[in-house]
Amino acid sequence: MAQDEDKAADPDPDVRKASHSSAFGNDELFVEDDLANLQRAFNCEYDEVLSKFLNVLDEPSWYEKEVLVSAMHPILMRLAAQYLVNEKRRGKPLDGVAKFHIRNGAEMYRLNFLADKSRKGMQNSAGMMINYRYEPETIEKNFVFYEANGSIAVKDGVAKWLT
């Protein structure tokens, strides 16, 4: 079992970029209950929810409003997981830090909601962070699978958010 020091945290799984990627157009990303929660949180019409969602990401202190935090949590977790695992260019992750860790045999271990509330963290990644874990027993296997076919080792802390 890897120790905590074997984990690396990515301060920038760029959720802002993900909101403009094909992940954002994924109908499963926004389930009906989540859309209804956002509609209540934003106090808006149903057809305004997605634009309000994007607009609130421009407000660096949205996390101070509990109603927004609870409404946005599952969506941002799914968006981050989708972006980090599935959004690729030429078979490689779009996120540069993800590409680095995965290429070196790490596994995507856990997503962390509102882990970086700094101005830059909120602006770049809506406060999201990811932990990568380097398991000595699987580093080589992860590297080989990634180089051979672009497969990314994903643990439950990330996989449970994939749609």
Structure tokens at 62: 């949205």
pLDDT tens-place string over residues 34-90: 999 999 999 999 999 989 999 999 998 999 999 999 999 999 999 999 999 999 888
For residue 88, give every residue at least 6 positions away whose Cβ sits within 8 Å of its Cβ, in sequence order, or none: 94, 150
pLDDT at 90: 87
Interstrand relation of 88-89 and 129-133 (parallel, antiparallel or unpaired) = unpaired
Is the pLDDT confidence value at 149 over 60? Answer: yes
- What φ, ψ does residue 92 adopt, rounded to 5°? -120, 150
Residue 5 pLDDT grade (very low, low, confident, very high; cuts 50, 70, 90): very low
How many Cβ atoms from other residues are within 10 Å of residue 42's Cβ? Answer: 18
